[in-house]
Amino acid sequence: MTRRRLRIGLIGSGFMGKAHAFGYATAARVFDLPFEPELSCLADVDEASAARAAAALGFARASADWRALVADPEIDVVNITAPNALHKEMALAAIAAGKHVYCEKPLAPLAADARAMAEAAEARGVKTQVGFNYLCNPMLGLARDMITAGELGEIRGYRGLHAEDYMADAAGPFSFRHEPACGGALADIGSHALATAEFLMGPEAGPITRVLGDCVTVIGERPDGQGGQRRVAVDDIGRAFLRFANGATGSIEANWIATGRKMAHDFEIYGSRGALAFSQERFNELHFYATEDRRGRQGFRRIEAGPDHPPYGLFCVAPGHQIGFNDLKAIEVAGFIEAVAGRRAEPFNFRDGLRIQTLVEAIQDSSRAGAWRDLP
């Protein structure tokens, strides 16, 4: 009855740091986990920040030195939610110390770095995870299961979108997300659209094999915070046409200046026997059209999330009550803990994270060249 503890070290305490902390707290209550996660240590940029965040988020200890955290023998898992540019160094150090590593997306700004990280983890034999939490939605699992089971028939077309408006204000200052190394909207949120596309289509249609990109910078300069303007080179909108291994085609759009859109991580999938439509703005619903429905009675049906769609039922026994964004994170956390225990494969490991980075770079490269690019 007394489960082994899994001692968590968290680096960073911003939006995603909090989401990780919430995720562990919820996962520990909702799931029957093989380990009892223990929030052991939180590292942040300085002692005061770290101590404050540790207290607020429930970590036992605080540290201003992520290297100490990574080396700490009292830590089993290192969670990295620090700025993207630091992911590689932190992850490699943690891997070297034999820790399991759970890194926020994107795994690294460059595919080459992501590759080094994936290979290091595999060589060392530690478990890894990259935080693509939208994939943890029971309704995405349902969609994938339906596709894999053939409920849509032969898959013929895919259209994905990730649109938000957090960069729509041209008066918003130049931030780390506008650094060339960060990659722009395609890397930041197009990565979600790509991950979802391969998650859903993969088992049936195979991976993406070719891309044709269209990445554009719309707001060419932003306030530099010192009274001047600074040039922006990364894309505000990133689009791509896609080819899947089975010949199915599709497209995605990533747009962080999509005025009015707060979380449009949407898709529509057309098969020979049915179709699916989904919007993250109403992510407890999946819309399903079946050609086998009786004539005159056909239509997209709004399936509401419920206990028939695991692991929804662990959160709530009644359908229609809905899970939230932080619950998606808890599902992600639980999946990783189960993988650490060897109960299941890693849900989305560094190799998967590298894959997304590879796709992003292929699209960026295609866009620059104005020509199709094959994926490895």
Question: Would you count residue 281 as binding a second copy (CB under 8 A)?
Answer: yes
Min. distance of Cβ 249 from a second copy in angstroms?
A: 5
Mark 8-27 with x for binding to a second copy (rule: CB under 8 A) and - for no binding. Answer: -------x---x-xx--xx-
Q: Which of residues 184-213 bind a second copy (CB under 8 A)?
A: 212
Question: Would you count residue 173 as binding a second copy (CB under 8 A)?
Answer: no
Question: Would you count residue 68 as binding a second copy (CB under 8 A)?
Answer: no
C-alpha–C-alpha distance, residues 35 and 49, integer Å:
29
Q: Rule CB under 8 A: choose which of 98, 157, 203, 225 binds a second copy.
A: 157
Residue 111, both tokens? 């595919």
Stretch that binds a second copy, among 174-182, 221-229, 295-303, 343-351 (CB under 8 A): 295-303
Q: Rule CB under 8 A: choose which of 125, 226, 227, 318 binds a second copy.
A: 318
258 burial via Cβ count (<10 Å: 0-12, 13-18, 19+):
buried
C-alpha–C-alpha distance, residues 191 and 356, integer Å:
6
DSSP 122-141: HHHT--EEE--GGGG-HHHH
Nearer Cβ to a second copy (81/349)? 81
Min. distance of Cβ 57 from a second copy in angstroms?
A: 6
Min. distance of Cβ 354 from a second copy in angstroms?
A: 26
Q: Rule CB under 8 A: choose which of 66, 278, 288, 336 binds a second copy.
A: 288
Nearer Cβ to a second copy (190/351)? 190
DSSP 85-152: HHHHHHHHHHHHTT-EEEEPSSS-SSHHHHHHHHHHHHHHT--EEE--GGGG-HHHHHHHHHHHTTTT
CB within 8 Å of 144: residues ≥ 6 apart: 199, 200, 203
Nearer Cβ to a second copy (237/360)? 237
Residue 339, both tokens? 């993988």
